[in-house]
Amino acid sequence: MTTNNIQKIKKSLRLSVFDGAATSVALGLTQSYIIPFALQLQATTFQIGLLTSIPNLSMALSQMIAPNLTERIGSRKGIIFPAVLVDALMWLPIFLIPFLFKENSFLFLIIFFAFKAVGGGLAGPAYGSMMADLAVAGVRGRYFSRKLMVNNACTIAISFVAMGIMQHYKNVDNQFLGFSLLFGGALVFRLLAAYFISGIYEPLMRNGQQKSESVVEIISHLKDSNLGKFLIVMSLTIFTMNIAGPFFSVYLLRDLKFEYVPYIIITTSGGIFSILLQPFWGRRADKSGNVIIIKIATFIMPLVPISFIFSANIFYLIATQLISAFVLSGLNLASVNFIYDAAEPEHRTQHLAIFTMFAGIATCGGSLLGGFLAPHLPPLFGYPLRTLFLLAGLIRLFVVTIGFRQIKEVRQVPKISVVNFLLGRFPKPALVEVVRKDFGFDLIPDFRDEELVDKNEDRLE
């Protein structure tokens, strides 16, 4: 690999951080307010389930064609850039719903949100494949953990701005104008993310990456491989997470009747904690692999929804979010990096598409099941949703106890006990990170040139 290409990779890794930051600002403006927006449109509990499930199902189905589109175009950026534009531009009709689509407004929300999900879904596998080529195996843990840390910081910071906006417009009884400002801001920052993506260097796809097995062919023999078993078990885990997950906001706002200030404090507290955890998980992933992180996270995971049922105290609920952040920050990093490591380069786009598709179907199924069950369950400590949280936790316990025993680490890593792993006592000295500082905080690790050379894959220059 030439020095020029190394510099292109370094620049692209930095641009990807900027892209992620802009996308995270858009997420911070909207992720906690789509369900409140739907509630303002008089959505029922079952319809909230539909709002989570139908867009995710649409996104999942789009994964059947995403790898084929990438191959036909012959460039991953050729599908990423227009798909991100679709994702961004869908915020325009969404924030106009209360003003232009007053009849059947919830139906229009689902339709527009589904198109937005399809745009993001089409971009995902190609983007992941491209980033796996840019951030090679030896640096992925550190790079993606640092990127996630920046992303979470941006999401949290802007969430408090969004909270102030919504609290103000709630006080003046004009919440729809507040939602419009948030969704309009998301449109602007998602377009900014598309601009950063346009500057990322795309390593040429190898011949094998341009023509490989179809998604359907790979799915047909998933159960025969370690990666296939992981995708199946992870999808079942996501299913269990979404039986209760989408309804936590409903529980806080409708049942416990929290105002926006305590609501945002609770929902963002875990994100603040996860910022601190990303380097913790990233260093350990590079040294000891991803499977040990996955097993630790899934062992604790069933406790999260069950913990919601015992108290409505704000400090107690913040503590539950800290546990959730510990689990999800490790699981999100390790699961994607496991796919990067386990998938052959020529099948990486397809495997990422399958993961996204399965995750979307699992999210859809879990949300529909939760939305169907919630109105029919007996109350527990006063609320039916607490019964749903208990049920979701028990189902999650069954899935993770049985499923993740079968998953094996892909990379050659030294054996280590869980205690030593968490304490950072590795068999060999951990790699010393040299970090470049930008804008007053550690942005991304400043990798040495030799660390960015993929020793296992031949890539065209």
Q: What is the pLDDT of residue 299?
A: 86
The answer to whether position 457 is within a domain reads: no
Cα dihedral angle (79, 82, 85, 89), rounded to 10 degrees?
-120
Confidence (pLDDT) at 24: 92
CB 454: neighbour CB atoms within 10 A? 18
* pTM of the predicted protein model: 0.71
With respect to residue 460, please indicate whether it lies within any of the assigned structural domains: no
User: Given this model, what pLDDT does residue 191 score?
Assistant: 95
Burial level of 47, CB count in 10 A (0-12/13-18/19+)? middle
Domain contains 351: yes
Looking at residue 438, its pLDDT comes to 38
Q: What 3-state DSSP class applies to 380?
A: strand
Q: What is the CATH number of the domain that holds 112?
A: 1.20.1250.20
Beta bridge partners of 441: 438
User: Do the domain assignments include residue 458?
Assistant: no
Residue 311: inside a domain:
yes
Q: What is the pLDDT of residue 455?
A: 55
The answer to the question of residue 371 being in a domain is yes
Residue pair 106/42 in contact (Cβ under 8 Å)? The answer is yes
113-147 pLDDT, tens digit per residue, is 999 999 888 888 888 888 888 887 677 777 888 88
User: How buried is residue 437: exposed, middle or buried, by Cβ count under 10 Å (0-12/13-18/19+)?
Assistant: exposed
Domain count, the chain: 1
pLDDT at residue 389, as a whole number: 92
Is position 459 within any domain? Answer: no
Could you please report the per-residue DSSP string of 42-111?
T--HHHHHHHHHHHHHHHHHHTTTHHHHHHHHT-HHHHHHHHHHHHHHTHHHHHHHHHH--TTHHHHHHH
pLDDT of residue 450: 63
Token pair 């305590």 is at which residue?
A: 262
For residue 281, is it within any domain?
A: yes
Range(s) of the domain holding residue 94: 3-452
Q: Who contacts 103 (Cβ-Cβ below 8 Å, separation ≥6)? A: none
Query: What pLDDT does 432 receive?
Result: 44
Segments of the chain with pLDDT less than 70: 1-4, 137, 172, 205-214, 427-461
Question: CA 294 from chain center: how many Å?
Answer: 15
Q: How does pLDDT run across 341-398, given as a tens digit for each residue? A: 888 777 778 888 888 888 888 888 888 888 888 888 999 988 899 999 999 999 988 8
